[in-house]
Amino acid sequence: MNTVHTDTKAIDVMISARRMTRLFRSGFALACALSIWPLSPVQSAELSDGIAMSDSDMMAHCEGIRAQKQKMQADQRAQEANLTAQIAMMNSSPDDKKMRLMAEVITHMNEQRITMDGRKAKMEEDMMQHLMQHVCMGKDSLSKCPMIHRMKDIDKKRSDPRENAEKGQASQ
């Protein structure tokens, strides 16, 4: 009789442990789901300092990001032109100066690459944050973004074979 009581007690403890485990798993799953649940579209986007943005503020932010990207591209083109001039000067220099000029060009190229990689990484981070702000403002906000329209236009031009064929015929 004593073993039956012990077995029943052991079964009760096991059932309690299972219930606790289920409860813990359910609570953990709920916590995980809530932590990754997307923000409500009703919420407005916020700048990094926590201030809510209106549609007009967001469009101004879009233009600012686009201007930063254009400036970075212009800077990169200027660096390439400068580098081309340096290489031309190096190639036309006397043999005894070429080695020193080559070292200068290589050092300059490396500095430019490191700087530009940092700028590109920052720009990518800013772009992702900008897109997330659009997502927080709702589905209509992203469709109004001038950067998205520009990317769609570029993709359309790349993928339209008729337009590419017309360009080829026009250049001949």
Q: Which two tokens stand for residue 167?
A: 């360009």
| Structure confidence at residue 41 (pLDDT) | 40
| Structure confidence at residue 131 (pLDDT) | 81
Q: In terms of residue numbers, what domain contains 27? A: 1-35
* Higher pLDDT, residue 162 or 41: 162
Does the residue 2 lie in any domain? yes
| Structure confidence at residue 113 (pLDDT) | 93
Does the residue 98 lie in any domain? no
Q: pLDDT band for position 126 (50/70/90)?
A: confident
- Most confident region among 35-39, 62-66, 146-150, 152-156 by mean pLDDT: 62-66
pLDDT at residue 35 greater than cutoff 50:
yes
Please answer whether residues 124 and 32 qualify as being in contact, where contact means their C-beta atoms are separated by less than 8 angstroms.
no
pLDDT more than 90, % of the chain: 30
pLDDT more than 70, % of the chain: 58
Does the residue 115 lie in any domain? no
Three-state SS across 88-139?
HHHHHCCHHHHHHHHHHHHHHHHHHHHHHHHHHHHHHHHHHHHHHHHHHHCH
Token pair 């990207």: residue:
69
| Structure confidence at residue 119 (pLDDT) | 92
What is the total count of domains within the chain? 1
Q: For Cα atoms 101, 105, 110, give the angle at the middle one, nearest 5 degrees.
A: 150
Does the residue 78 lie in any domain? no
Does the residue 30 lie in any domain? yes
Backbone angles phi, psi at 44, to 5 degrees: -90, 160
Please answer whether residues 65 and 126 qualify as being in contact, where contact means their C-beta atoms are separated by less than 8 angstroms.
yes
| Structure confidence at residue 53 (pLDDT) | 67
Averaged pLDDT, 92-114: 93
Closest-CA residue to 132 (of 68, 58, 66, 64): 58
Q: pLDDT band for position 15 (50/70/90)?
A: confident
Does the residue 17 lie in any domain? yes
pLDDT at residue 168 greater than cutoff 60:
no
Average pLDDT, the chain: 74
- Chain-centre distance of CA 41, in angstroms? 20
Measured between alpha carbons, how far is residue 67 from residues 20, 54, 61, 63, 152 in Å? 56, 20, 10, 6, 18
Averaged pLDDT, 38-44: 42
Lowest mean pLDDT among 6-15, 95-104, 125-134: 6-15
- Chain-centre distance of CA 158, in angstroms? 22
Does the residue 23 lie in any domain? yes
